[in-house]
Each structure stands twice: as structure tokens, then as C-alpha cells.
């Protein structure tokens, strides 16, 4: 164990850093923390840290929460002996495993967008995508520490109360023209089967016909995707300020159908900023694996804006763990908000608060925040194929969990999903959902401001 002491230390510190979001950890309190050996004679809090290899067959369920690294058959989370508290399971390793994204550093076959597939994840295998398991671990740890404080007359202070929760709404701007020549070509390819689609031939033909019909009208064509006034009006009405992520790569095959330098786009971005919304980068496909491309795109975007960007979300959630994060960090980006599963709503790192990812190459915490993406529109309707009723139920269940821990409900809604032609009734669904979230007492904030609040708390 000695050879690995530093490695263990940085993993423990990583977990403690995040625990500090939830409670005060003074030196005098931490002096009582024991990780590897139980001090039988003295008084302390023994964490039972082992850092063994993860084995899914060993997982132990306590109160419907999976403990990934159990150390005994005991159901109680901690035991009290004299004035000492002993955790009966290795909660530090369990929290580290999920929070750090360790599973994404293993060998896996990426999906067609280069992503870590949901089916490979421990969240899928244990059926826990909707449970912020790390928050439950932290709650258990805090309760154990509170018990110790009570026994030894040491004050233990929590930082986050249960309510209210935070609402981080965002929009990825992939498309701004519903009927342009790229779309005519795209639908034509769909019809011929050159472009992958799950549409019937009839629907592909119908889409091509509608698109061509509008396109030939030239300037008189309607454009349901230039809908920024509608989107911001409803947010202003409900007291929401959201973030808009723009794609800097004008390459319609994989990225945007528009160009960042178009005067209407420059005007739009700056008018959003001037009205209290946030503008960030929607990292193009090629930037996930290429630091120079990523940096070039940030520069290109910043040159056009009144204030430089703070955050990013990768287009198509295309991501290379942890390289993309390292590129973003070195470019000075403050946060990323890509990490959610495309195929399933919920918590990819089993945590409902922003966190700092871990760099396994250098065995240290990265200096960039990740605001985990909890729900994406396409997840609900393209991947899960939910009805509106099922989608509402899935969202409500997630919010129940987030409310328990005063966490962050982050929702991605593409402007191209604010369109009843794409799905009849979806605008009404979306607006009702926003209203419901706000009626639950959420505090809405831009991602940039959420990070500012957390930085102040730590």
C-alpha cells in the first residue's frame, strides 16, 4: 500500500473536496479522520478505505442504494464504539468510483458518436440512472460525522439545505433555419437511403416535399427555428435565465448548418448576453479529440462576443473522457455541461451537483467544473420514445431526488425542439414543464452563475 500512498491520498482528497460542498470540514474535525487503519486506542472516525478492484457481483444494497465497495455484511452504515465512529463500508472508494468517471477510462466500444454507451455503464447494470447515489453516500458520511460531533462535542455544520433546488436550463443551437438548401439536400438523401433515418419512405418524401415547398419561397419562407424571441419571452415570464450554446463549425455534415459570423447570429448572441442570458460554446465534433481545433473555436467565438464565454457543451454529447475536459481547462473554460447519457435521462456520475472531474493520467483533480446534464429533449423523445405523460413522470421522479439534496436540475432543450412541426404539441409540453419546475420552487440560474455560487461556497 505504501507505493500507492500518494495515489490514495489524492483520491481521498478528491472525495473530501466534494464533501466540502455539503458541509464544513475544519482541520480540527479532519484531524479525527482515519482512512486505512482503525486507531483502536484513540478516538476517531474510521472510514474503512480499501481501494480494492470494483466487482459488480460484490455490490451490497442498503436502503435501495448500492454500496459499490462493501466491507462487511452489516446493514448499518456506521457503528459507534465509545466516542468513535466506524463506517462499515468503503464509502470513499464508492463515491470516488462514480464521481471520477472511472468506468469511462476502461476499454469499451464507443457508439457512433464516439460516446461512452449507456449500456456499458454501472448505472445501467445496477439500474440506478435516476438515483444520485453519491449524494446518498455523502448524506451517510455526514450523518456519521454528525454522530461523532455529538459524542465529542464538536460542532458539525452543513452547507446545503434540502430546498430549494437549482434549475439550469440551456439550449444547444445546432440549427437556425428550418427550410434551407442543406435541409432539402438532407431530406433528399434520407429518401434515397444515403442518410441514416428511421423514417418511413412516405414520411421522408413528405418532409422533402414540405421543405422544398418552403425553400423555393425564398425570403418569404417561414422559419420556425428562428424562435429565440418565443424562447426568451417564456423564460422572462417565468423568471428563468438560460444559457445558449453556439456551434462554431459551419460544416453541415456533422456540425452547424449556419455560420457563426453571419450578422444575424452575431446580433442574436450579443442581444442574449445584453438581456442577461448566457452564451457559451457548443463544441463541434472535431474538438472532442483535438485541442487545437477546440482552442481555435473558442477564439473564433470570443472574437464576436461582448464578453468571453465561460462554458461549453459538446455537440451530440461527443466527448473523450477526460481529454476533452483537459483541453477545455487549458483553454480557460470554467465549466463543461456535457456529461449525461444520451440514451437515458438521469445522473451519469450518480451525483446531482456540479463536480470537478478527475484526471487519471496525472492522478489529480481537474480544475474545471462539470454541471452534469440530467435531461435532454432528444433523450425523452428520440431515444426513450416517451409519450408526454411518460416524459413528465420521468422528469418529476428526477426532481424528487434532486430536491432531497438541493441539487441542480439541468435541462437541455434545443431550439429545434421548440417546434410543433417536429412533434405536435411539444411547445405546450415544454412551456408547461418549465412552469411546473418553477412551481416546485426551483431557483433558475445560468450555468455560469451557478458555478460562481459554488466557487463562493467552497
Chain residues binding Zn ion by CB under 5 A are 172, 174, 315
Q: How many CB atoms lie within 10 A of CB 183?
A: 22
Q: How far is the CB of 416 from Zn ion (least distance, A)?
A: 9
Q: How far is the CB of 157 from Zn ion (least distance, A)?
A: 41
Q: How far is the CB of 249 from Zn ion (least distance, A)?
A: 11
Sign (positive/negative) of CA torsion 303, 306, 308, 312?
Answer: negative
Distance CA 404, CA 420 (A): 34
In the chain, what is the straight-line distance between the N-terminal and C-terminal CA atoms, in Å? 31
Nearest-CB residue to Zn ion? 315
Amino acid at each position: 500500500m505504501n507505493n500507492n500512498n500518494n495515489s490514495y491520498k489524492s483520491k481521498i482528497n478528491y472525495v473530501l473536496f466534494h464533501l466540502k460542498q455539503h458541509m464544513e470540514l475544519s482541520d480540527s474535525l479532519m484531524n479525527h479522520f482515519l482512512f486505512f487503519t482503525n486507531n483502536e486506542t484513540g478516538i476517531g472516525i474510521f472510514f474503512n478505505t480499501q481501494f480494492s478492484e470494483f466487482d459488480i457481483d460484490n455490490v451490497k444494497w442498503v436502503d435501495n442504494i448500492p454500496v459499490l465497495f462493501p466491507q462487511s455484511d452489516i446493514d448499518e452504515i456506521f457503528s459507534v464504539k465509545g466516542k468513535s465512529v466506524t463506517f462499515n463500508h468503503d464509502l470513499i472508494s464508492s463515491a470516488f468510483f462514480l464521481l471520477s468517471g472511472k468506468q469511462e477510462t476502461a476499454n469499451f466500444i464507443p457508439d457512433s458518436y464516439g460516446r461512452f454507451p449507456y449500456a456499458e455503464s454501472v448505472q445501467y447494470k445496477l439500474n440506478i440512472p435516476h438515483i444520485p447515489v453519491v449524494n446518498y453516500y455523502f448524506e451517510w458520511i455526514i450523518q456519521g460525522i454528525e454522530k461523532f460531533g455529538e459524542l465529542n462535542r464538536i460542532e458539525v455544520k452543513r452547507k446545503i439545505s434540502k430546498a430549494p433546488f437549482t434549475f439550469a436550463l440551456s439550449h444547444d443551437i445546432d440549427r437556425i433555419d428550418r427550410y434551407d438548401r442543406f435541409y432539402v439536400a438532407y431530406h433528399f438523401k434520407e429518401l434515397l437511403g444515403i442518410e441514416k433515418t428511421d423514417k418511413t419512405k412516405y414520411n421522408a418524401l413528405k418532409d422533402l416535399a414540405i421543405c422544398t415547398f418552403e425553400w423555393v419561397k425564398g425570403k418569404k419562407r417561414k422559419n420556425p427555428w428562428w424562435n429565440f424571441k418565443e424562447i426568451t419571452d417564456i423564460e422572462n415570464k417565468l423568471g428563468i435565465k438560460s444559457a445558449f450554446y453556439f456551434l462554431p463549425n459551419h460544416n453541415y455534415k456533422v456540425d452547424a448548418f449556419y455560420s457563426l459570423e453571419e450578422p444575424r447570429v452575431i446580433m442574436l448572441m450579443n442581444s442574449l448576453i445584453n438581456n442577461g442570458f448566457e452564451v457559451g460554446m457548443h463544441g463541434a465534433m472535431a474538438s472532442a479529440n483535438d485541442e487545437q481545433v477546440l482552442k481555435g473555436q473558442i477564439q473564433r467565438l470570443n472574437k464576436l462576443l461582448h464578453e468571453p464565454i465561460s462554458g461549453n457543451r459538446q455537440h451530440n454529447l461527443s466527448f473523450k473522457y477526460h481529454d476533452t475536459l483537459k483541453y477545455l481547462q487549458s483553454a480557460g473554460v470554467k465549466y463543461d455541461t456535457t456529461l449525461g447519457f444520451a440514451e437515458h435521462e438521469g445522473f451519469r456520475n450518480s451525483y446531482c451537483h456540479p463536480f470537478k472531474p478527475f484526471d487519471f493520467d496525472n492522478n489529480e483533480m481537474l480544475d474545471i467544473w462539470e454541471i452534469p446534464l440530467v435531461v435532454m429533449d432528444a433523450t425523452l423523445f428520440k431515444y426513450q420514445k416517451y409519450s408526454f405523460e411518460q416524459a413528465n413522470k420521468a422528469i418529476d421522479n428526477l426532481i424528487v431526488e434532486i430536491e432531497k439534496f438541493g441539487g441542480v436540475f439541468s435541462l437541455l432543450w434545443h431550439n429545434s425542439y421548440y417546434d410543433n412541426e417536429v412533434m405536435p404539441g411539444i411547445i405546450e409540453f415544454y412551456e408547461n414543464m418549465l412552469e411546473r419546475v418553477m412551481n416546485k420552487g426551483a431557483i433558475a440560474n445560468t450555468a455560469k452563475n451557478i458555478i460562481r455560487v459554488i466557487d463562493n461556497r467552497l
